[in-house]
Amino acid sequence: MDLFNENGWTTEEERLPTLRQYLNLRKNKTIPRSFLVTLVWLPNKFPSYAFECDKFRLSIPTKSALGKSLSTHLDSVVRSDMAFTLGVVVEEGKAPTVTFKQSTEKVTWAVIGEDPIIGYRLVQN
Q: What are the domain boundaries of the chain? A: 13-124
Q: What is the CA radius of gyration of the chain?
A: 18
Tell me the per-residue pLDDT of 74-112, one tens digit each, with 9 for 90 and over.
Answer: 888 888 877 788 788 877 777 788 888 888 788 888 999
pTM check: above 0.85: no
Please name the helix (run of DSSP H) or strand (run of DSSP E) that holds residue 68, with its range, or none: helix 65-79
**pLDDT, tens digit, 9 for 90 and up, residues 11-20:** 667 789 999 8
pLDDT band at 50 (very low <50, low <70, confident <90, very high): very high
The arrangement of strands across the sheet holding 97-112 comes to 34-36, 82-89, 97-112, 119-124, 39-41, 48-52, 57-61
Query: Averaged over 39-50, what is the pLDDT?
Result: 92
pLDDT band at 47 (very low <50, low <70, confident <90, very high): very high
Q: Do 55 and 34 form a contact (C-beta atoms < 8 A)?
A: no
Dmax over Cα atoms in the chain, in whole Å? 60
